[in-house]
Amino acid sequence: MTRVVGTNAAVPLVQQDTGNGEPSLSGDEALQKAREMFPELLEGKDVNLQLQEYAGAGRQGWRLNWSVPGPGAGQSMHYNTIMLDAETGTLISCSCKSAAGTIKEGASLHTREAARQAAEDFAAKYRPAEFARTRLANDYSSYYQSGKIDYTYSFFWERLANGIPVDGDGINITVDALSGSVIGFLINWHDDAVFPQPGRMTENLEPKVLEELGLILNYQVTEGNLSGIPEAYLVYRLNSSGSLRLDPDSGAALTPEGEVAPIGEQKRFDGLPDLPANVATFGKPASTVSPAGKISAAEAREAAREFFAKLGLEGEVTRSGSGSSSNGIFFDEEWIFSLKEDSQLNAPPRHRNVGIDTRTGEVSSYHVSGYYEYGGSTGQPGDSGTTFTSEAAAAKAKEFIRLVHPEKQDQLIREKQNYAYHYYYGTDGPVQMYNFNFIRLANGIPFSPDGIRIVVSPEGEIVSYDCNWHAVRFADPGKIISREEAEKIFLEKMSLQPAYFFPREQGNPQVEKDPVLSLRLANPLENGINARTGQLVSTARVSTDNEGEGYEIPWDHWAAVPLAFIARSGLLPEKGFAPDNPVLRRDAVRVLVGITGSGYRSPGGDDKTAGFNDITPNDRDFNAIQTAVRCGMLDGTGSFKPDQPLTRETLAVWLVKALGYGEVAAMPIKMELKTTDAALVPESSRNYAAIACGLGLMQGDDEGRFRPLDQATWAELAVLATRAAPRLQAVN
């Protein structure tokens, strides 16, 4: 049971009965503590309180929640959620999604150093005992280029036990760069864990790891390249699956369950095509043309009907929903259709649905939920008279791929490590499934973001199928370093360091066992070697040949901090950047779309192409320009002229339209523009300039001039993006 508490509410709290007795901390006390911790987040908000268990350990916590729908159809929810322990009142977590930050007149963005200090002060005040046993982990934020301008700083302090890091335990804190306030907090901490004392550790295991597993080439795409068809780069990585861990005593590998196993069994792939040590060329670059728009609902339904017919199933096909997702690289959207089957006597019901990609019309997913609800094909787990082996189930999976996506079957390689899935239903415990991952091959090289994942029941029924296949340019890599050179870099720069981890119980991965000491790569994210430059790279980002060229931002430049946010979001051009250089029209669109984060989801409504006669679906910024058209920022007609510099006049028009004030600006009235050169602003854009200046988003120069025909610089755009961020995020 819950209640809503206003800013001055004092009515008795109706508690939710969790079976654990009355908590020591009342709801009103919890609210008071939360307001002390997060005054800006909770100011003036009616808060919903609920007493509930958390952490799966029977503990009670007060969950304080505030939420409102987004301002428009299809817009994401704005919310604050805070969890306090109901016995101690200690903070467990806080998550905020809203345009909380503002920049007061004359103020500027908070620096990372100031944000870190604010985070440290917060942790030391509200979780002092735990914070004293942590250290600030290596900063990997620069690796994640999301394509969205995120005006927050994130920090992670990892737990230390016996001076050794504990994987998974620690404190995460997020600070709003606009307000300087803490807006996110999460602590993971195994309170009762007993950590074994470190003993003798086998040294110099890196050559053994390299010999047993070897390095393989992988294609990788820079995260956050949502503006068009991305280009994949080549990276050398260990041929291992997941996080490689070694037993520090024997030097053998450790499984996720904490069991000792030969290192060679941790290989990710067997049977990769034999590529030359130094790949000079693959011939014609492989790529896929991105479709310009969505298929129709009727086309999607027909694709669903054809799919069910391939399975030998008949019945009424009805639209049952839709879904979308983004992994930071690609945005996917599907229409979901269900099959209404005739019920059969003594047969458990099946709930089958298929997802159809809204752009390509291909099958993107297939799921059968009846199996989980009724425990196998006969109502009892595994009781069908036939139990498939792992290899027999794998053959079933391959047969299904040939049926659904025959053109892809020769472009896939199966991962060796396929851990059994476990589904839980009712009170009968887990049902073990076979889980198979087939990774996409391009030019004979794995491209891990794409592929097909299949779950097969013990009776050989396909119960889950997901296909990811995207438009990517697998370009001619040119000259790359040899495998021998990469191995030398690995031995020089990648070292194994001790770390504790919590193994999972065999057959029930939701249950953790006591901590185990292991050896793992010192920087888990830096586990790749750029095949061109020899630099260490993360799992999410690949440095290009041009990276670093022109990216120097003078620390004393007046727009240094705002420019740093655009840089870390991956929105600066690869060549020709300087803070005071002009911004191209295509680059400005990427930045404005990046403020709103609209590239991560479908804006809703009818699908439109970019519409401009000089922008094609293969343009590297097609998605960003298309999103700007959908959102009303651009009109989508005539010529866009993407590579021409952007004027301040046009920047004002785009900004005002993005804020939703386009209709107001287009009204047949003359708004006052308080600049000394107002007469030079064309009538068609005067109201836009007036609104932009009236909102404090654009300003005149030292002489009070708007300078409508001057080219906007990167520094000006970065500062404007900072000022406009709370408003643009609030309407998206």
Decide: 44 and 7 in contact? Cβ < 8 Å: yes
Please tell me whether residues 113 and 40 are part of one structural domain: yes
Residue 197 lies in a domain: no
Output the pLDDT for position 604: 39
58: left (phi over 0), alpha (psi -120 to 50) or beta: left
Please tell me whether residues 278 and 302 are part of one structural domain: no
Structure tokens given for 554: 């003078």
- Rounded CA separation 9/46 (Å): 9
Output the pLDDT for position 104: 58
Angstrom CA distances, 624 to 198, 615, 619, stand at: 52, 11, 10
Rg (Cα) of the chain, in Å, rounded? 28
In 356-482, where does DSSP find H-type helix?
370-374, 390-404
Output the pLDDT for position 366: 96
Q: Which of 472, 487, 521 is the last residue of a domain?
A: 472
Residue 565 lies in a domain: yes
Residue 200 lies in a domain: no
Residue 548 lies in a domain: no
Residue 199 lies in a domain: no
Residue 490 lies in a domain: yes
Q: Which residue has the tokens 């709003």?
A: 176
Domains contained in the chain, number: 4
- 716 φ, ψ to 5°? -65, -45
Please tell me whether residues 262 and 359 are part of one structural domain: no
Output the pLDDT for position 473: 82
Nearest alpha carbon to residue 426 among 489, 351, 376, 357: 376
Decide: 215 and 174 in contact? Cβ < 8 Å: no
Output the pLDDT for position 541: 47
Please tell me whether residues 533 and 569 are part of one structural domain: no
Q: Which residue has the tokens 């995460």?
A: 172
Please tell me whether residues 573 and 722 are part of one structural domain: yes
- Rounded CA separation 173/137 (Å): 12
Please tell me whether residues 102 and 250 are part of one structural domain: no
Please tell me whether residues 107 and 255 are part of one structural domain: no
Q: Do the strands 363-368 and 462-468 form a parallel or antiparallel pair, or are they unpaired?
A: antiparallel
Residue 401 lies in a domain: yes
Nearest alpha carbon to residue 722 among 581, 564, 556: 564
Output the pLDDT for position 640: 95
Run of H or E including 578: none
Please tell me whether residues 35 and 140 are part of one structural domain: yes
> Helices 683-694 and 648-658 sit at what angle, rounded to 10 degrees?
70
- Rounded CA separation 694/655 (Å): 13
Q: Which of 454, 472, 490 is the last residue of a domain?
A: 472
Output the pLDDT for position 583: 96
Please tell me whether residues 40 and 161 are part of one structural domain: yes
Task: Give the list of residues 6+ apart from residue 73 with CB closer than 8 angstroms, or none.
Answer: 604, 605
Return the percent helix, strand and coil in the chain, to nearest 5. Answer: 25, 25, 50
DSSP 265: G
Please tell me whether residues 319 and 337 are part of one structural domain: yes
Nearest alpha carbon to residue 218 among 530, 666, 491: 530
Split the chain (732 residues) into runs of 10 and give each run's mean pLDDT: 37 41 88 93 89 79 86 61 94 81 65 95 97 85 59 94 96 93 94 92 92 92 61 89 88 92 92 63 48 79 95 90 73 88 54 91 90 44 59 93 95 80 52 88 91 91 93 77 94 93 79 92 76 79 42 83 86 82 94 72 45 83 85 91 95 94 92 92 94 90 92 94 82 63
Please tell me whether residues 393 and 452 are part of one structural domain: yes
Nearest alpha carbon to residue 565 among 713, 712, 720, 731: 720
Residue 658 lies in a domain: yes
Neighbours of 535 (CB within 10 A): 16
Please tell me whether residues 628 and 697 are part of one structural domain: yes
Q: Which residues pair with 356 in a beta bridge?
A: 335, 363
Q: Which of 430, 446, 472 is the last residue of a domain?
A: 472
**∠ CA 337-342-346 to the nearest 5 degrees?**
125
Decide: 319 and 334 in contact? Cβ < 8 Å: no
Task: Give the list of residues 6+ apart from residue 679 with CB closer than 8 angstroms, or none.
Answer: none
Output the pLDDT for position 346: 46
Task: Report if pTM > 0.85.
Answer: no
| Four-point Cα dihedral 580, 584, 589, 594, nearest 10 | -40
Domain assignment of residue 619, given as a range = 560-730
